[in-house]
Amino acid sequence: MTDPVLLVEDELFIALDVQATIEAAGFEVEGPCMTLVEAQAAVARRGAAFAAAVLDVRLADGTVFAAADQLHAAGVPLIFHSGHADDEDLWQRYPQAMVCPKPSVPAALSDAIRRSAASNGKGTQQRATG
């Protein structure tokens, strides 16, 4: 069985769309977590048992960085899916992260998820196109 992908997204319709994309890529979904508190609770429950994490930067209760730091420290591949992301800033903080700017074509996000899960956090800086 494949480890799930953590989904952190506070906009309901986007979360449902991304959830469908993750499932179509062949992964189970943990979430969607709509707040930092929910994301940190998911990380506390499952630790590093995620194939990857798809993270929006701005959430209803702040930014995702506290949860991203925990995931990064545990070796979970990170995919930032945000309309408010500065690629260079994210790559300085998370050198192996992928960035899929919103809006993303589902195929580009699906490809990013598969590549991140396959890399096991050992990839290089990548910006998904689409």
Check whether 108 has a pLDDT greater than 90: yes
How far is it, in rounded angstroms, from Cα 37 to Cα 21?
A: 24
Instruction: Provide mean pLDDT across the span 22-36.
Output: 96
- The domain spanning residue 63 has which CATH number? 3.40.50.2300
Tell me if 93 sits within 8 A of 125, measured CB to CB: no
Instruction: Average the pLDDT over 118-127 and give the result.
Output: 54
Mean pLDDT of the chain: 89
- Examine the pLDDT at 35 and tell me if it is beyond 50: yes
According to the model, what pLDDT value does residue 41 have? 96
Q: Is 63 helix (H, G, I), strand (E, B) or coil?
A: strand
Number of structural domains the chain divides into: 1
pLDDT value at position 84? 77
pLDDT for 122 equals: 42
- Give 87's pLDDT tier (boundaries 50, 70, 90): confident
Given a cut of 70, whether residue 121 has pLDDT beyond it is no
